Chains A and B, each alone.
Chain A
Amino acid sequence: MKLSRRTRETLQGYAFVAPAIATTMIFLGIASVAVLFMSFSRVNMVQGTYEWIGLNNYRVGFTDSLLHRAIRNTLVFSAVVVPVQTFLSLVVAAVLNSNIKFKKAFRAIIFLPTLTSSAALTMIFMFMFSMRGPVNSMLISMGLLAASDPINFLRSSDWSMRVIMIMNIWSTIPFYMTLYLASLQELPNSMYEAASIDGASEVKKFFYITIPYLRPITTFVVLTGIIGTMQMFDQAFIFSGGDGGPASSTMTIALLIYRYAFGPGSAMGYASMIAICLMVIILTLAFIVNRINKEERVY
């Protein structure tokens, strides 16, 4: 049989991507279908029992106040962290791109948090924000707090999620900053020179040249930021010791999935339902972000 050159090349192409496709299908494709199937079932992994219960998991989800709380916590977390980390990493990148002294040293230092494991960072932050940790000591020495009355950052429902937000912002900025910085170095200097000749201030240059030039990067940063924050698990888990407390203030969607999936009884199906909901939420948000970005391009 004589194949045309084109067909042969196509077949060859498929042969080369086959291993990747096979791996993806096994570990993502089949797994995703299984999760979708399980979300309509009552599953006990150990006993190996599957029982089709239709939409029952979803129906129960509507009345699960803890799930609602987890969704709210995660959305608030995302809504605070994503804009702040995006804006700050842009500012830091712009500063490091200017002609300040020791900028290479700064770059290296600022990048350190990204190299540290998130679990280790969480432990460090828990120490910093502990009752006798550096943050409380600083606030006391500045006279903002009485020495006998430090703030219990780790076990206060007002504070614990905020501390996790600060930690998350601080630890993700360097990575996004690097992306911005790489793009900024491509930005032709002539645009700034032209703006200077027209008498634009540094602030105006930042808002009218730097930000618009970096829009594609911003889209990427916002999207990965949303995905990352919506799936936040490890920090909340370590911070709360796994219970999502105090008073459910650090309960995130991913933490709740873990608790149901690996807790006692047969809630793997219910956990799968929450995973599907999380996927829908992330897809919706990603779609909206993409939409907004496209609209802006029209102008």
Chain B
Amino acid sequence: MKKKVIFLTFLLAAMAFALIACNNDNEETAATNAESSDRVLSLGIWAGNEAEWASIERVRQDFEAQTGITIEWRLYNDLNTQIMADLAAGTAPDAFYIDSGLAEQFVYMGVLAPLDPATFDTAAFYQNVLDTFTFNGVVYAIPKDQSSLARYVNTELLNAVGFELSDIPDDLESYLEFLPRLQSALDDHFGAGEVFAASGMYEPARALHLLNRNVNPVNPDGSSNMAHPDVVRHAEFIHTLFATGAMRTPQMMGSGWNGEAFGTGRAVIMEEGNWVYNFLRTEFPSISFEIIPMPTYMGQRSSMIFTVGWGINVDSPNQDLATAWIQYKTGVEGMYNWCVAAGPLPTRPDVAAAMAANLSAGLNVHIAQIPYATPWVLGRFQSFINDSYMNYMSAAIVGEMSIANAMENIDAQANLQINIAR
């Protein structure tokens, strides 16, 4: 019995010692951090592909050499979800990426420090891109880069069935006549169900620039306005494009995404972001394609842009360091080096001009569309509206319900959730 008691006492002592040791450990680390905190800046990003990672590492080295500040990466797999948890726990990095669609939510939660326009040279940025991160006249994030949608045309397939690049209409309305004509030529030449005229996507991230023509699908208070007659009319137009059977989603063609459908020669025309350019060059070097601007709709040019900004954690003790980093990273030198190596488009016209000479004509088409493109944002409750839209629109596109009915359901479901979350 005595032995047991001794053993137990020993065990408890060991446990207590272990706990104390752990505790000391933490204190030591905290102390080290406090001493050198004025030199270490933590940045929350995603690693991206190999080119992106190599590029940002290079920009980091340049920055560290110039300023003597040490950067500590905090890499996230799913930044949009994980950063919320870190913000709630008070462990978020000093500065981090902010997706355009989450910016308003972050500002509303009060987690972002307001940024001084003069310090960050905001006048040098594309206004519509900067506006994505501007609320009540205050800038909360500086756009680091962006991508825009353009049309990619497989000229080999097009020529094989007797069409020329110039035959492709510049306006979406003419697609209704053109796509079926191209489709029947493709069916005759390749057999039915093999090659499709156009790979299309109806989700808000791709179609918002059509849905928002002369109307806002989101109310000022953030609630969904998809059942507005004008939005319904635009959505019905999108539906008629799909109803021709000549426009299909990549999934309807049995592909994972646009780039794959296009690269494997299953679609002649696709609307895709500039990220697909390098993908096609490396994965499908044999296909020949041209890049042309997005079609007009109701007589107006349009496209979508996708942007991510740098924001500063309002609770960060290193806001001055974060400011220095963002100034450098979104300045002419930092942005140029990043965009040239990683592949996205710059968010400043001066950098775009500097890059233009080295870019292919196709990527310059992407850049030229930026000033009039619609940034991908659906208000403060983007994910509720977007998910409700996908939920019902996917049923409407395949004809299971009418567009008007789907849009009413989208509003009902999204606004129910928004009211609960508000």
Instruction: Collect the chain A residues with CB atoms within 8 Å of residue B1's CB.
Output: 8
Is there contact, CB below 8 Å, between A147 and B192? yes
Interface size of B by Cβ–Cβ distance < 8 Å? 43
Task: Report A35-64 CB contacts with B as 1/0, cut-off 8 Å.
Answer: 000000000111110000000000010001
Contact of A267 with B417 at beta-carbon distance under 8 Å, contacts A156-B400, A245-B391, A259-B387 already known: yes
Interface size of A by Cβ–Cβ distance < 8 Å? 42
Is there contact, CB below 8 Å, between A156 and B417? no
Contact of A152 with B87 at beta-carbon distance under 8 Å, contacts A66-B417, A266-B421 already known: no
Is there contact, CB below 8 Å, between A64 and B416? yes
Is there contact, CB below 8 Å, between B252 and A152? yes
Is there contact, CB below 8 Å, between A243 and B390? yes
Is there contact, CB below 8 Å, between A133 and B254? yes
Confirm or deny: A148 has a beta carbon within 8 angstroms of a beta carbon on chain B.
Answer: yes
Confirm or deny: A141 has a beta carbon within 8 angstroms of a beta carbon on chain B.
Answer: no
Is there contact, CB below 8 Å, between A155 and B392? no
Confirm or deny: B3 has a beta carbon within 8 angstroms of a beta carbon on chain A.
Answer: no
A-B contact pairs, 29 of them (CB 8 A): A12-B4, A46-B88, A46-B111, A48-B88, A60-B420, A64-B416, A130-B254, A131-B251, A131-B253, A148-B193, A152-B398, A155-B251, A156-B398, A157-B400, A245-B390, A246-B400, A247-B401, A248-B391, A248-B413, A251-B391, A259-B383, A259-B387, A263-B381, A264-B384, A265-B105, A265-B380, A265-B422, A267-B421, A270-B420
Confirm or deny: B81 has a beta carbon within 8 angstroms of a beta carbon on chain A.
Answer: yes
- Minimum CB distance partner of A154 in chain B: B251
Is there contact, CB below 8 Å, between B395 and A157? yes
Contact of A66 with B413 at beta-carbon distance under 8 Å, contacts A44-B109, A131-B251, A246-B394 already known: yes
Instruction: Collect the chain B residues with CB atoms within 8 Å of residue A263's CB.
Output: 381, 383-384, 417, 421
Confirm or deny: A242 has a beta carbon within 8 angstroms of a beta carbon on chain B.
Answer: yes
- Taking CB atoms and an 8 Å cut-off, the chain A residues in 1-28 that contact chain B are 8, 12, 15
Tell me whether chain B's interface is mostly helix, strand or loop, or mixed: helix
Is there contact, CB below 8 Å, between A264 and B380? yes
Instruction: Collect the chain B residues with CB atoms within 8 Å of residue A66's CB.
Output: 413, 416-417
Is there contact, CB below 8 Å, between B254 and A246? no
Task: Report A245-281 CB contacts with B as 1/0, cut-off 8 Å.
Answer: 1111001000000011011111100100000000000
Confirm or deny: A241 has a beta carbon within 8 angstroms of a beta carbon on chain B.
Answer: yes
Task: Report A166-192 CB contacts with B as 1/0, cut-off 8 Å.
Answer: 000000000000000000000000000
Is there contact, CB below 8 Å, between A46 and B391? no
User: Distance in Å from the Cβ of A137 to the closest Cβ of chain B?
Assistant: 10
- Taking CB atoms and an 8 Å cut-off, the chain A residues in 211-253 that contact chain B are 240-248, 251
Is there contact, CB below 8 Å, between A45 and B84? yes
- Minimum CB distance partner of B391 in chain A: A245
- Taking CB atoms and an 8 Å cut-off, the chain A residues in 123-169 that contact chain B are 130-133, 147-148, 152, 154-157
Instruction: Collect the chain B residues with CB atoms within 8 Å of residue A130's CB.
Output: 251, 254
Instruction: Collect the chain B residues with CB atoms within 8 Å of residue A8's CB.
Output: 1
Instruction: Collect the chain A residues with CB atoms within 8 Å of residue B401's CB.
Output: 247
